Amino acid sequence: MQDRIFLLAAAAAFFLFLVYWQRSGKVDPARARALVEQGARLVDVRSPGEFSGGHLPGAINIPVGEVRARHGEIGDRTRPVVVYCASGRRSASATSTLKGLGFSEVYDLGAMARWNR
């Protein structure tokens, strides 16, 4: 009986994690690459210095602190957007900001290093 309860609890926890992941805008690397190949805008929210040191092909650089002021550079708010940074903290913040500005499809890759996984 305890085994069943544990399995049910584990399944419920996993389900809640998946719901959270979906709502948070997190996207797995394969899906992020597919979105970009299909025309999604790729936005690097790291600093200009970090961006000049290397970035993903096709990305535009809008530092996280400038997203609200420069969101017009991203374009159509109905076009999918994939956001990334160095660790995932800034991309999560930028994702929230963009959603608050009315962008309908914003996906948070998190750390740039995840791109090739």
- Which residues form the catalytic set? 85
- Residue 16 CA to residue 106 CA, distance in Å, equals 21
Contact (Cβ atoms closer than 8 angstroms) between residue 43 and residue 60: yes
Nearest to 101 by CA among 41, 76, 48: 76
Structure tokens at 113: 């290093």
